[in-house]
Structure 1
Amino acid sequence: MEWTERWKVAVTDYGFPDLRPEHETLEPLGVRLTAAQCKTGQEVADLCAEADAVLTQWAPVTAEAIGRMERCRVIVRYGIGVDNVDLTAARSRGIPVVNVPDYAIDEVADHALALMLASVRKIPQVVADVRRGQWAIAPRRPIQGLTGKRLGLAGFGNIARAVAKRAQAFGMETIAYDPFVDEAVFRANGVERVDAQRLLRESDVLSVHLPLTADTRHFLNAQAFRKMKPTAFLINTSRGGVVDTEALAEALSQDQLAGAALDVLEQEPVSPDSPLLQLESCLITSHCAWYSESSLIRLQQFAALEVKRVLEGGRPLHVVNGVSV
């Protein structure tokens, strides 16, 4: 059968080895996929002006770019956060913005636990000591055990719930703050619901799982760090802007916190002169918590399936800007 083009789908940018999952999902529908590596809103606007759907990873999908989209029926973000898309502009044009929140739940939860263990057990520091010829059977004192310690979760979505399950297996008590989650969800997961102030005061390890919004930006700031235990550890695998970077560096340098482990930062990649890089008590990974070979494929497939649903007249699963389809 001769292939007939019915729709155009633009991929503003991507960090994947190829776009095979998108082609396999969308081309049988009559979709022509046009991909670029846009860096500016102008480039996005030029690419997407006549697209029926847009897939985007990091490129700035600005109000100006959205204003030039003549036929767009959906914008799908590869990933959970939608910071790069002007949600208000899309809403005003009646274009649903969709994310993919469920492609890497286990990967991010595993990474959060790995950061917690590495930070609390001081594993990178001990490994460095051994390589320098320092051998100690009780190194880097003090190192605290995790059994009986309290894990606090800022946000209680799917990833935080997976983190709670893993932490409970280590014998940790679990508390969480999330004003948007029903009490029954906390009970079902064996997690105590607390307010933000109690979360800060009581957490021995605080793991952040908040979206970045006007309300959550710098949720963890200088004032918050002063309320936390000086023996507490901070883990962030959500959004960099939730943590005030300068305030965190100051808190760590003043021993207001025992340590921090971050997979996300306000500025990415991290600046070589960032004070956080000079602190042994701070571990930084490269926004890679989401990644495994399996999650990579799921992300591309799930994003393409959202486009497919809309083009075929269905409803996307995860609209984030309140536009109904």
Structure 2
Amino acid sequence: MNPTVLITDYVWPSIDAEKRILKEINANILIAPTGDESTLIKMATKADAIITCFAQVTDKVILSAKNCKIISRYGVGVDNINVDTATKENIIVTYVPDYCIPEVSDHVIAMMLTWNRKILKHHNQTKTQGWSSVSLNDRIMRLNDKYLGIIGYGRIGKTVASKASAFGLNILVYDPLIPEETQDSLVTFVSLEELLTKCHFITLHAPLLESTKDLMNEDQFSLMRPDAFLINAARGGLINEKALYNAITSKKIAGAGLDVLVDIDPPIDHRIINLENVIITPHTAFFSQESVIELEERAAKEVVRVIKGEMPDNIINPNVISTSRANITTK
């Protein structure tokens, strides 16, 4: 019998790439009309595999998927998947950890430059008020010898550091998994407190875990410079939004560049979106045509491997391999 693959959601024009890859196993593809839990519970009963983007793959969805061998995430984080339940049910969970490193790191640098050079403000003023309308009273920094702080020094954090070094920035890094005495020619490892107090720009590149939820809260904002600009192209939950709103409106920090919020589909009147000192993009830091094709192909290829009994490339719960429903052959 041909395997059935449930695609819970996607945000690109088509799934032609997935269809081409999944043709290798003659898969029947089901596309969920909505990502709500009740719909996914019903559709998961037929699934041998699930590919998911932003939809919540809850414990109830997983428990209904009695034949499911793999849940493949379109993306880096897996906070929308109940990994613990999947593991208990001997279901492999995979992800694509490195598909959009160029795009996200570019986006972070673009946020920093757009803010510092006042590109959006001067563009809007010139378009609406004329060439002579722009005053030069805003703070615009010479970046050379200023400080950029990177919280989380994984693949994307390291790429941001490499690109930012071209501007002559001093780069400070905090990552609790990397000792402060670690040597790196591009960056200096410091405590979180030192990074927050020194840096003119701070960018977040940590996963969203219970330990990192509200990583940036009132205490952290109180340590930051009044001219600091915070960038988040990682996960919305890393920032306590009430604390961020208060920090910006009370001028404890200068502003923020956000590609993510806690709400994955925030209303247009969201109070942070409407702050003048916030640059906002709708979770598009990952996007280029090239990155999306890569993402689609690699997520689908993980399904093909597991259905064929082969080891996936990037597995979140490797301890499940020996007992997995897929009967993986290890070499």
Q: TM-score, normalised by structure 2?
A: 0.91
Relative to structure 1, the CA distance from residue 242 to residue 16 in structure 2 (aligned partners, 3 Å threshold; closer, same or farther) is: same
The match for 1:143 among 117, 140, 145 is 140
Relative to structure 1, the CA distance from residue 178 to residue 302 in structure 2 (aligned partners, 3 Å threshold; closer, same or farther) is: same
Residue 177 (structure 1) aligned with residue 146 (structure 2): no
Residue 243 (structure 1) aligned with residue 242 (structure 2): no
Counterparts of 2:304 and 2:297, CA distance in 1? 10
Q: Is the 8 A contact 1:53 1:307 kept in 2?
A: yes
Relative to structure 1, the CA distance from residue 37 to residue 203 in structure 2 (aligned partners, 3 Å threshold; closer, same or farther) is: farther
Q: Is the 8 A contact 2:200 2:225 kept in 1?
A: yes
Residue 93 (structure 1) aligned with residue 80 (structure 2): no
Q: Is the 8 A contact 2:148 2:169 kept in 1?
A: yes
Relative to structure 1, the CA distance from residue 222 to residue 322 in structure 2 (aligned partners, 3 Å threshold; closer, same or farther) is: farther
* Runs (5+) with no aligned partner, structure 2: 322-331
Post-superposition offset of 1:60? 1.7
Relative to structure 1, the CA distance from residue 324 to residue 191 in structure 2 (aligned partners, 3 Å threshold; closer, same or farther) is: farther
Partner of 1:160: 157
Partner of 1:313: 309
Alignment of 1:35-114 (within 5 A): 35-114=31-110
Post-superposition offset of 1:136? 6.3
Q: Is the 8 A contact 1:25 1:305 kept in 2?
A: yes
Post-superposition offset of 1:155? 0.6
Relative to structure 1, the CA distance from residue 182 to residue 6 in structure 2 (aligned partners, 3 Å threshold; closer, same or farther) is: farther
Q: Is the 8 A contact 2:198 2:225 kept in 1?
A: yes
Size of the aligned set, in residue pairs, is 320
Relative to structure 1, the CA distance from residue 141 to residue 59 in structure 2 (aligned partners, 3 Å threshold; closer, same or farther) is: closer
Post-superposition offset of 1:122? 1.5
Q: Is the 8 A contact 2:96 2:295 kept in 1?
A: yes
Residues 112-121 or 172-181, more deviating = 172-181
Relative to structure 1, the CA distance from residue 278 to residue 43 in structure 2 (aligned partners, 3 Å threshold; closer, same or farther) is: closer
* Letter aligned with residue 305 of structure 1: K
The match for 2:281 among 279, 285, 298 is 285
Counterparts of 2:305 and 2:185, CA distance in 1? 32
Identity %: 35
* Runs (5+) with no aligned partner, structure 1: none
Counterparts of 1:160 and 1:250, CA distance in 2? 27
Post-superposition offset of 1:25? 0.9
Q: TM-score, normalised by structure 1?
A: 0.93
Partner of 1:20: 16
* Letter aligned with residue 82 of structure 1: V
